[in-house]
Amino acid sequence: MNEEFSVTEKTRVKRIPKRAVYDRETINKILDEAFICHVGFVAENQPYVIPTAFARIVDRLVIHGSAASRMMRSLSKEIDVCVTVTLIDGLVLARSAFHHSMNYRSVVVFGKANIIEDEGEKYEALKAFTEHIVADRWAEVRPPSANELNATTVLSLELTEASAKIRTGNPVDDEEDYALDVWAGVLPLNLTTGKPISDDRLKNGIPIPQNILNYSRKK
């Protein structure tokens, strides 16, 4: 597998190209840390952008949903799709309003999705969704029933056309603004967990698993 994605007309970053990243390992790390992707597609001449959960399995993304949903029915026809993922790492506070920004890591993926028909492959994809949310969770829970599998559509999108864009560091002000008496810098943002809250109907004596108590989103 190539260490970098080939740059295409779709994936080439044109606005501030120095922030572009085509390295496969970097892109995979961003995908593995994120929870939500936004899926863009056109159905019946109407554009849609739908947020949804996803997971990465080696060199493809998998998404799932109700077999009756418009997104799943539309993507099942192997139409063009654009999937985006964004992580916000900090607020970049400049001396001028114009130069305020954010530090971020984002990925854009283009392609066509395919239905996963094979039951075993579909089962593994659903396992990947669960493990993407919480590592080692699959072994703790009831697996999907046959009826649940039948009611769920799982789509696969090959990671062949993708790029990332990353901003890090300080604000960049106009040279004359550095003399202003205005605080400037970066306010870091991190996704953190709170104390686990047990379900009201949880049976007595069931402890909170260590993978929940020690949860971290960093991969």
pLDDT, tens only, 42-69: 999 999 999 999 999 999 999 999 988 9
Q: What whole-number distance in Å separates Cα of residue 143 and Cα of residue 145?
A: 6
Q: Say if residues 176 and 96 touch (Cβ distance below 8 Å).
A: no
12 domain-assigned: no
Q: Report the domain count for the chain.
A: 1
Q: What whole-number distance in Å separates Cα of residue 157 and Cα of residue 37?
A: 13
111 domain-assigned: yes
Query: Region 171-193: what's the mean pLDDT?
Result: 97
Residue 34: domain span: 17-171+186-191
Q: What whole-number distance in Å separates Cα of residue 59 and Cα of residue 158?
A: 6
121 domain-assigned: yes
98 domain-assigned: yes
Picking from 85, 84, 34, the residue whose alpha carbon sits closest to that of residue 191 is: 34
Q: Say if residues 89 and 29 touch (Cβ distance below 8 Å).
A: no
The pLDDT, as a whole number, for residue 1 is: 60
141 domain-assigned: yes
Query: Region 145-173: what's the mean pLDDT?
Result: 96
> How much of the chain exceeds pLDDT 90, in percent?
95
Q: What is the pTM of this model?
A: 0.93
127 domain-assigned: yes
SS3 11: coil
68 domain-assigned: yes
DSSP string, 54-113: -EEETTEEEEEEETT-HHHHHHTT--EEEEEEEEEEEEEE-SSSTT-EEEEEEEEEEEE-
- CATH number for the domain spanning 164: value is 2.30.110.10
